[in-house]
Structure 1
């Protein structure tokens, strides 16, 4: 595991999709957020505390791992000045290949992708994850080492 202060720790950009310039709406103002698919954290923590052996897990770079199909990428553009020191320079247009980290719709998209994958599996592990996932973190446990094999 890399130290948080390490020079090799990757930087992830979080976009401020709530940024606005009056009277224009922000990107988040224009997005549908979808229903909440997040499990109740209190319920997860209570169940977690009942177990004798605890474990946690995290979906690494969860939002960045939700890829956009090529024909949808045209809707997720970012404009950048070709010369940041010259406000009159041309824009360079980038298209996102994954879910935008920082938009109000991203949690729904990420959670629906995870739910879809878990629903396609009929295993005790998938069922456990479905019940004990909070955004991109799994907080669960078992009572005996023998339970690991189930």
Structure 2
């Protein structure tokens, strides 16, 4: 199985990440991933996790250290996970078996998440079981409670249960002071395996308890094609629609391109190119936006979820979510 290293300059951990290319065809024309089942989705929906993350007054985030590497593969299957290696070009090539679940394989996420689910199924503590079942997205945990002391207990007990399955929790972040909390931190909420591909993602400042958008977005200003616009738009991470009015610009541009029936690598018309450049240049201002993470409010007597839809042909299925409160 071919592999190579990817160096991430601004990563806080694992700056050099190994990428295993399980999609590479062998002499048979089939790759390892062609022969694997992906497995069903068994974790909570990302939108649901982030919406629940905004409901509780006290919240905590953590992630599992090297999650995939904590799960052993059946020895009978390890011949499918062989790599070649040598320290120096003059050394003879050696063959190694990868003994654990390997990032880049089609089944990796399911196998690891299924182990988490089993720990939850066997857990006798309903709060811990609920946390593992509902508040994990791959290896990232976002959980909360309206009681700080109860949340700390849930975090402590959840960490113990996961440790029993060799899934150590690390990088704890809270929005209140406690023995586990670190100094002021910013947590990226661009969760999951593809988070490194998001150049515009959702983040959270723990002490001010605010959501923000961080962006290194660069859509390019030369030879703008339909492919480049679609690629750029797909890198924007806004699962709960906080910046829908901004992203709508990119969506309407894509809609216009499909109506023109342009090829993927054709240069787009000048008016669309200018609109795209203007859109890309405006994204840097998103860094200044701060959104309160906690939406439930204090001392409210009634909560309402209002959903507004727009039937405009230009903005199809654009949803704006709002929570209204009534105080005494």
* TM-score, length basis structure 2: 0.39
Q: Which residue of 2 aligns with 1:36?
A: 41
- C-alpha contact 2:117 2:133 (8 A) present in aligned 1: yes
| 1:52 positional shift | 0.7
Paired with 1:52 and 1:64, the residues of 2 have a C-alpha distance of: 34
Paired with 1:70 and 1:31, the residues of 2 have a C-alpha distance of: 17
- C-alpha contact 1:82 1:90 (8 A) present in aligned 2: no
- Aligned counterpart in structure 1 of residue 113 of structure 2, from 111, 114, 120: 111
Paired with 2:67 and 2:117, the residues of 1 have a C-alpha distance of: 13
Q: 1:129 to 1:9 in 2, by over 3 A?
A: closer
Q: Which residue of 1 aligns with 2:150?
A: 147
Moved over 4 A (4+): 3-6, 80-85
Aligned residues, how many? 144
Paired with 1:133 and 1:45, the residues of 2 have a C-alpha distance of: 10
For residues 74-119 of structure 1, the C-alpha deviation after alignment (integer angstroms, 9 at most, x for no partner) is 342223479757xxx9752211111111101100100111111121
Paired with 2:14 and 2:137, the residues of 1 have a C-alpha distance of: 24
- C-alpha contact 2:32 2:80 (8 A) present in aligned 1: no
Structure 2 residue 54 is matched with structure 1 residue 49: yes
- C-alpha contact 2:71 2:100 (8 A) present in aligned 1: yes
Q: Which residue of 2 aligns with 1:129?
A: 132
Q: 1:97 to 1:33 in 2, by over 3 A?
A: same
Work out which structure has the larger RCO, using CA pairs closer than 8 Å and 6 or more positions apart in sequence. 1
Paired with 2:72 and 2:132, the residues of 1 have a C-alpha distance of: 21
C-alpha RMSD over aligned residues: 3.0
Q: Which residue of 2 aligns with 1:100?
A: 102
Paired with 2:86 and 2:32, the residues of 1 have a C-alpha distance of: 19
Mind listing any 5+ residue stretches in structure 2 that lack a counterpart?
Answer: 1-8, 155-328
The answer to which structure has the higher strand fraction is 2
Larger Rg: 2
| 1:122 positional shift | 1.6
Q: Which residue of 1 aligns with 2:70?
A: 65
- C-alpha contact 1:53 1:144 (8 A) present in aligned 2: yes
Structure 2 residue 83 is matched with structure 1 residue 78: yes
**Structure 1 counterpart SS, 2:17:** coil
